[in-house]
Structure 1
Amino acid sequence: MPAAVAGLRLHVFNTGMNRMSALLVGEHRPWRPAPAFVIEHPREGLIVFDCGLSTSVAREGESALPVPMRWLFESRGREGRTLDAQMREAGLEPARARWVIISHLHDDHIGATASFEGATFIGGLGTAGKVLGLSVPRWREVDFHDTRALPPFDASLDLFGDGSVVLLRGGGHAREDVMALLALPGGPVLLTGDAVVHREWLHSDNVERVAVDSQRAADVRNQVRALLVARPDVTLLPGHELQGAPGSRGDVTLHHPEWFKAEAWPLSH
């Protein structure tokens, strides 16, 4: 596990709520958050991890999503609560972002990408040029084939060479899944994207319902489980859950935590 990096900070935002289709998950389908994250690095500046829901979804709900995504889940946002808007409110100007890490290309994770056209985008293999309507002059694809294992994970990449942000291979929920392990001063934080959708799935043996490779999804789940057993000091922030986000740490800021709850959003769209 990389050593803590002084001056590294994490900002946690929620950009809306999603609820899976009953056809996929049955009657148990709670509304779950659509978070996005901003990392302040002492040398690299602002780093975005996932971009949340779009302004179009804030206005139109899931009808703004392409087929088949609009059939798979309901989606709710609010204008003025997209990631870029919340960053400006927090004094984190989107134009200052130098790096944007995309965990995977599902629409609820790329909504505000157009606000970061000056940044270098980082994603898994096959992601370059796949964000429609966005001209990204700098896109770096991460190829984990020749990288080192970071047990219990089978492939890792130290993004900046200082241990601050270590990218980990997913590949079950989407082929391009990328996770990020952050060496924060107050203890490591794992941002999983939808490689771990929420803790309920992590602690179950259910098959991933929306996965390109259900066996790989299960393997990644077992790797995350093993990490949390070996290192209980790791804080887990899944792709669609903010319960357990640390609110009393000096190196983590929760922005509008009242928006982490479903009742803060227009669910009856």
Structure 2
Amino acid sequence: MNVHLMHTGKVQIDQALALKEKGWHPAPYTGWLRSSKRKIWVPVSTYLIEHQKGLLLLDTGWHEEIRTNQRKHLGTLAHSMFKGFLPEGESIRELLQTRGYRAEDLDYVLLSHLDADHVSGLNHVQGASSILVSREEWAAANRGMRYNKTMWKGASLITFDFEESGLGPVDRSYDLFGDGSVTLIHTPGHSRGMFSVLLKTSRASMLLVNDTGYCPQSWEELVVPGITVDDQQAKQSLRWVQQQASQVDYVFANHDPTIKPMTITL
């Protein structure tokens, strides 16, 4: 199994969005009325997984419209909180093309959750055979103001149900191929239906935590993201990641600025 860790540009956020802060400010993660010194740039990662049973993409990163009209693409409210940057050659369409693939070659697009920087580029991969999102995430996204529903307009998303498996922080997961090689672990807290992805072969294992934590400090010190729907669940998910970090060979967070694009063979 080959795992390509790719960056579809980066996003500028307030540091309190990555690591929750407590203080006088009611919503420091917005960056409103906050010093520019508190703004940080972090990568927007996606993962292309070459598996013997199919070609998988985890999250889609930024759409190319970020280059030309991101206020329209993100919406005024979201644009006031964070900014995207997408260099030429780094959209998911371009990254796939560089590796000799088209959207139609993708067997699965796995959407860890439906925040903008994870689904913005969905339009570029609508030709994939199956686009999966958890039923909990889909329900929350279609009733809440947090999400930009235009980002999946026209896409044929397939919802799946987590199963009571005894795996993960809430004992729920979804085994994509039924052989334990690709398991979507329910790690709620940052959002209702978010999942992390556990990859296993006979030789090695990898955990892709997405936004369960933004960087190793998140699970090492149990600091939840700035935006959560349930702090207790978010911390529970981080405790599980902390435990896994000592058992798997690799752990990667979506917005960890220390991680560079690379390919790892498991």
TM-score scaled by length of structure 2 = 0.80
The partner residue of 2:138 within 109, 114, 127 is 127
The partner residue of 1:58 within 67, 78, 86 is 67
Inter-partner Cα distance in structure 2 for 1:244 and 1:116: 24
Instruction: Supply the RMSD in Å over aligned alpha carbons.
Output: 2.5
Asked if the contact 1:9–1:184 (Cα under 8 Å) also holds between the matched residues in 2, the reply is no
Residues 163 and 177 (structure 1 numbering): CA distance in 2 closer, same or farther, change over 3 Å?
A: same
Matched, 1:210 2:227: yes
Partner of 1:264: none
SS at match of 1:34: strand
Matched, 1:37 2:19: no
SS at match of 1:52: coil
Residues 190 and 153 (structure 1 numbering): CA distance in 2 closer, same or farther, change over 3 Å?
A: farther
Matched, 1:21 2:21: no
Matched, 1:237 2:247: no
Q: Tell me the matched-pair count.
A: 239
Amino acid at match of 1:196: G
Partner of 2:21: none
The partner residue of 1:92 within 101, 111, 115 is 101
Q: Deviation at 1:61?
A: 4.5
Q: Deviations over 1:76-118 (max 9, x none)?
A: 1124320111110111222100111001111101122112223
Residues 242 and 97 (structure 1 numbering): CA distance in 2 closer, same or farther, change over 3 Å?
A: farther
State how 1:112-123 maps to structure 2 within 5 Å. Answer: 112-118=121-127, 119-123=129-133
Listed as ranges, the gaps of 5+ residues in structure 1 are 1-7, 253-269
Inter-partner Cα distance in structure 1 for 2:187 and 2:211: 9
Listed as ranges, the gaps of 5+ residues in structure 2 are 16-27, 143-148
Inter-partner Cα distance in structure 1 for 2:10 and 2:189: 23
Amino acid at match of 2:258: Q
Asked if the contact 2:166–2:172 (Cα under 8 Å) also holds between the matched residues in 1, the reply is yes
Q: Give the stretch that moved more between structures: 108-117 or 45-54.
A: 108-117
Amino acid at match of 1:124: S
Partner of 2:237: 220
Amino acid at match of 1:112: G
Matched, 1:178 2:195: yes
Inter-partner Cα distance in structure 1 for 2:179 and 2:224: 36
SS at match of 1:190: strand
Q: Deviation at 1:246?
A: 8.7
Question: What percentage of residue pairs aligned between the two structures are identical?
Answer: 23
Partner of 2:172: 155
Q: Give the stretch that moved more between structures: 31-40 or 201-210.
A: 201-210
Partner of 1:140: 158
Q: Deviations over 1:208-266 (max 9, x none)?
A: 2111111111110001001113x1x43111121263569584x17xxxxxxxxxxxxxx
Asked if the contact 2:169–2:236 (Cα under 8 Å) also holds between the matched residues in 1, the reply is no
SS at match of 2:67: helix
Inter-partner Cα distance in structure 1 for 2:112 and 2:211: 8
Amino acid at match of 2:153: L
Inter-partner Cα distance in structure 1 for 2:71 and 2:232: 29
Q: Give the stretch that moved more between structures: 185-194 or 83-92.
A: 185-194
Q: Deviation at 1:71?
A: 2.4
Asked if the contact 2:190–2:227 (Cα under 8 Å) also holds between the matched residues in 1, the reply is yes
